[in-house]
Amino acid sequence: MSPNYVAKRLVMIVYTLFIVSLIVFAITQVLPADAAVMMLGENATQEALAALRENMGLNAPVWQQYASWLGHVLRGDLGTSLRTGQPVGPVMLEALGRSLLLAFLSIGLMLVLAIPLGIIAAVRRGKIADMIVSLISYAGVALPEFVTATVAVLVFADLMKWLPPTGYVPLTENFTSGIAHLVLPVCVISVILIAHVSRMVRSELVDVLHTDYIRAARLKGISRGTVLRRHALRNALLPTITIVALDVGYLLGGVIVVEEIFAIPGIGRQLIVAIQARDLPAIQAGVLIMAATYSIVNFIADILYAWLDKRIQYD
Amino acid sequence: MTTTPETPVLAIDNYSLDYDTASGVFHALRNIDLAVHRGEILGLVGESGSGKTSLAWSIMRYLPKNAREPGGRILLSGENLLEKTDAQIEAFRGRRISMVFQDPSTSLNPTLSLGTQLAEVLVRHRGLTRQQAWKEGEAMLDRVGLKTPAAMMNRMPHEASGGEKQRVVIASAFACNPECIIFDEPTTALDVITSCQILDLFVELQAETGVASLYISHDLALVSRTASRVAVIRRGEIVEQGAVRDIFARPQQDYTRELIAAVPDPAHRLVGDRVFETGKPLVRIENVSVHYGRRPFLAAITGRKAERVAGNNAISLSINPGEVLGVVGESGSGKSTLAKAMTGLNRFEGRIWFDGREIRNVGDMDNAYRKDVQIIFQHPDASLNPRQKISEILSRPLKLFGDASHLDQKVGDMLEQVRLPRTHAQRYPHQLSGGEKQRVAIARAFASKPKLVICDEITSALDVSVQASVVQLLLELQKTSGASYLFITHDLNLIRQIAHRIAVMYRGNLVEIAPAADIDSPDRAEYTRRLIEAVPRPAGQYL
């Protein structure tokens, strides 16, 4: 991995975020919302509205508004919420923290389950175990999260009363309760990820097990298990890194539904609230933070990949 | 069973192997009888699909699930391998019997260092610790002639050349002093000069250790150079076996005779030596260079100069009308790069004059140029669209460059021209054999009545006997059409048979161009002499 590659990827992230900021700003421009009306309410006088617009720079040309917004963003000021009058940055970042907690727990659970499932399916290809794993995967891919979430709440919270149905308790406040509230959402998200990743691991491993170098290792007298561990898994799991990184995109977007169902005040839920309230600075901040998170995760994945597979020589 | 010096190390006794397939039982091997003694090299020669590799898997006990063994025994120093448990076989492999594979770039794990892959055999079978195995590994790399063993241990496969990698594979095969080693085409994937060195290494280690060797190859010339005895296998049966001398001097079977005859022999020229009018070449290439790769990103923003990879370095040559110009060189020497530049598949710098016209860049290669310059690729599987019938494949150039009337008639004529039945028009490529597919590719190239046909390693993927017939076809087509050929190959024996002149390339440079009849003269460039020296001489000349 050359410094070239890292530098190039970093510049690409900046570039991507710049494009995202342009798009976000453009979208908020065409949204049917007037920041002045939002702040002063429907009954404000024309004079008051005009004064506020002038004050907020809303009469300036669009590109000036964009430049001023971007300038503030670069200095760490993501704007002030029109709804609450509070700075949106800290609110969104706090929400992102909750979402990331949910995401990392889900990814963790997924990795613990999906990789062994994929391996079992690949090693016992065509046998019962493979078919069961395939069935679970297809079910996971086919069922939308709002179905699995609703069923999960119905069964484990309403019927069995094992777990709290919805809500969020910070882990620092009450650890046990916090975890209990996280179990169902984490499981619901993991089901889809497991389906995805176990199929990926299975097909990659099946391919790798048919390569010449696996055969060569077996013919050197190395046992099945050692060949699987030392020779096959590393190569088969490499593409999984990319898939997991792409799934973070899903987690950030698709998790909105799960956060809504389980009433978790994550970034997805904050964004929904912001959109409903036409809170332009909050929407801009939320989307920008999500895009940045996604870019950084994919950057890390690419670096990790290049580090694990020395053949990759990006220029 | 006690072993005496007379007991063969490896004995295959009336062994048969079947595969259950969807379309019934396929008899891969029938009643095989072979024996390899200590210190002996037995050559097993056959074309693709003859079952020679199946036999290797049988011996190594590495058979697919649909394999059935209706009868016979495989004895390693008297012990029947068919009766061993999986665990016993696992302990045998790599310790008492090992294998060297065809392509070192696929038989080594790309994500593990060479040292790890060598040391693991020693840890597994000789009970060494990792540190001991690593030290021992270094000694072994030294023994197989690698100059910097310690550094090589730490390298990843992609950081070593093909020859270096094959030396590592050979080192792991010899690592536990096995009784028997199977060599499965160990030099096929390597360059001429490298494979010559690997062969020397093999002969040397074999003599030193006295290991019983089964040397599998499709190349009779190669086998005759190393083996003391040869077995010829065809369609799963041994048709003939005996001492190399006898097989070549007095082949008993027609098939063996065919195989011997099909091996290209430079002494047996297939084209007349013609003198071409100088000054009126069909193609003249002047200082054509091709560069690969873009400027690295950091270099671009910091303004640093970056080195580009040169595929071709200022190549100048010309081809006369009706001439066969051979281009030889090892892989990576720029042969195919030149072909791609001439067909507009690569950007190039420099000038190409074609039939009096100047071609400065890809944009100048218009329809007329493309009609006149056709290319045939190495792998017909990759160059024929698998979803198109042969009729569709062949009518495309007709529609593009000629008139599109009576297509069926013309496609049929084209097939006949390349000695294929007219009915093949209704088939798909996968329903044809490798040789037939390459004939279709040839017919397609000739459809536009080109003046220059570029043949890029077109016989490399074919068996010797098929290669001989394809080459014959090409020469006949040349007689009737008068087209010139740029014939790219790594097979020096073949090109010496069919080319008028031979261009030798090395690392993107044109070393020299010489008349084919003069290529082995001592006045040739040093690299050319080395190349000629490394080529296995045709069958029988070692005797």
pLDDT tens column, B96-154? 999 999 889 899 999 899 999 999 999 999 999 999 999 999 999 999 999 899 999 99
Q: Which residues touch A138 (CB under 8 Å, ≥6 apart)?
A: A195
Q: How far is B379 from chain A (nearest CA, A)?
A: 21
Taking CB atoms and an 8 Å limit, are B297 and A8 in contact across chains? yes
Q: How far is A3 from chain B (nearest CA, A)?
A: 8
Which of the 8 DSSP states describes residue A228? I
- No. of H helices and E strands in chain B? 21, 20
CA B121 vs. chain centroid, Å, equals 29
Chain B contact for A10 (CB, 8 A cutoff): no
Please give the share of chain A, as a percent, with pLDDT higher than 70. Answer: 95
Beta bridge partners of B182: B99, B214
- Average pLDDT of chain B is 89
Residues B353 and B355: their CA atoms lie apart, in Å, by: 7
- Segment A211-232 shows an average pLDDT of 93
Which CATH number does B10-261 carry? 3.40.50.300
- Segment A53-60 shows an average pLDDT of 75
Q: How far is B478 from chain A (nearest CA, A)?
A: 41
Residues A164 and A155: their CA atoms lie apart, in Å, by: 11
Q: Which two tokens stand for residue B360?
A: 């400065």
- Segment B455-474 shows an average pLDDT of 89
Residues of B in contact with A307 (CB under 8 A): none
Judged against a pLDDT cut of 80, whether residue B169 lies above it is answered with: yes
Chain A contact for B294 (CB, 8 A cutoff): yes
SS3 B411: helix
Q: Which residues of chain B are in CATH 3.40.50.300 domains? A: 10-261, 283-382+452-534
* CATH 3.40.47.10 applies to domain B283-382+452-534: no
Taking CB atoms and an 8 Å limit, are B111 and A217 in contact across chains? no
Judged against a pLDDT cut of 90, whether residue A12 lies above it is answered with: no
- Segment A40-59 shows an average pLDDT of 76
Confidence band for B306, pLDDT divided at 50, 70 and 90: low
Task: Map out the domains of chain A with their CATH numbers.
Answer: 88-308 (1.10.3720.10)
The 3 state secondary structure assigned to A133-200 is: HHHHHHHHHHCCHHHHHHHHHHHHHHHCCCCCCCCCCCCCCCHHHHHHHHHHHHHHHHHHHHHHHHHH
Q: How far is A119 from chain B (nearest CA, A)?
A: 19
Taking CB atoms and an 8 Å limit, are B90 and A223 in contact across chains? yes
Confidence band for B216, pLDDT divided at 50, 70 and 90: very high
Kindly report, residue by residue over A238-280, the tens digit of the pLDDT: 888 888 888 877 777 667 888 888 888 888 888 888 888 888 8
Residues of A in contact with B60 (CB under 8 A): 219
Please give the share of chain A, as a percent, with pLDDT higher than 90. Answer: 16
In this prediction, residue B270 carries a pLDDT of: 83
Q: Which residues touch B360 (CB under 8 Å, ≥6 apart)?
A: B351, B352
Judged against a pLDDT cut of 60, whether residue A105 lies above it is answered with: yes
With 0-12 / 13-18 / 19 or more C-beta atoms within 10 angstroms meaning exposed / middle / buried, residue B492 is buried
Judged against a pLDDT cut of 50, whether residue A315 lies above it is answered with: no
Instruction: Using alpha carbons, list the distances in angstroms from residue B68 to A124, A212, B84.
Output: 21, 22, 16
Taking CB atoms and an 8 Å limit, are B110 and A311 in contact across chains? yes
Confidence band for B1, pLDDT divided at 50, 70 and 90: very low
Taking CB atoms and an 8 Å limit, are A218 and B108 in contact across chains? no
Residues of B in contact with A238 (CB under 8 A): 111
Q: How far is A24 from chain B (nearest CA, A)?
A: 28
Confidence band for B294, pLDDT divided at 50, 70 and 90: low
Nearest-CB residue to B297 (from A7, A218, A310): A7
pTM comes to: 0.81
Chain B contact for A15 (CB, 8 A cutoff): no
Nearest-CB residue to B298 (from A3, A221, A231): A3
Contact of B22 with A178, CB cutoff 8 Å: no
Please give the share of chain B, as a percent, with pLDDT higher than 70. Answer: 94
Taking CB atoms and an 8 Å limit, are A216 and B297 in contact across chains? no
Residues of B in contact with A221 (CB under 8 A): 90-95, 121, 124-125
- A267-276 helix and A233-261 helix, angle to the nearest 10 degrees: 40
Which chain A residue is nearest to residue B60, measuring alpha carbons?
Answer: A219
In this prediction, residue B543 carries a pLDDT of: 46
Residues of B in contact with A311 (CB under 8 A): 110-111, 156, 158
Residues B313 and B224: their CA atoms lie apart, in Å, by: 38
Outline where B78-113 has alpha helix (H).
86-92, 104-107
Please provide residue B421's backbone torsions phi and psi, each rounded to the nearest 5 degrees. -65, 145
- The answer for A 212-241 residues in CB contact with B (under 8 A) is 212-223, 230-231, 234-235, 238
Q: How far is A195 from chain B (nearest CA, A)?
A: 27
Contact of A175 with A192, CB cutoff 8 Å: no
Nearest-CB residue to A213 (from B109, B158, B293): B109
Q: How far is A115 from chain B (nearest CA, A)?
A: 19
- The answer for B 95-124 residues in CB contact with A (under 8 A) is 95, 98-99, 101, 103, 106-112, 117, 120-121, 124
Residues A164 and A172: their CA atoms lie apart, in Å, by: 18
Q: Which of A98, A107, A96 minimizes the C-alpha distance to A288?
A: A96
In this prediction, residue A313 carries a pLDDT of: 58
ipTM: 0.81
Judged against a pLDDT cut of 70, whether residue A121 lies above it is answered with: yes
Nearest-CB residue to A212 (from B101, B125, B156): B101
Give DSSP secondary structure letters for A235-283: HHHHHHHHHHHHHHHHHHHHHHHHHHHTT--SHHHHHHHHHHTT-HHHH
Which of the 8 DSSP states describes residue B387? T
Instruction: Name which residue leads in pLDDT, B440 or B540.
Output: B440
Q: Using a CB cutoff of 8 Å and minimum separation of 24, what contacts does B361-369 make? A: B367/B400, B367/B401
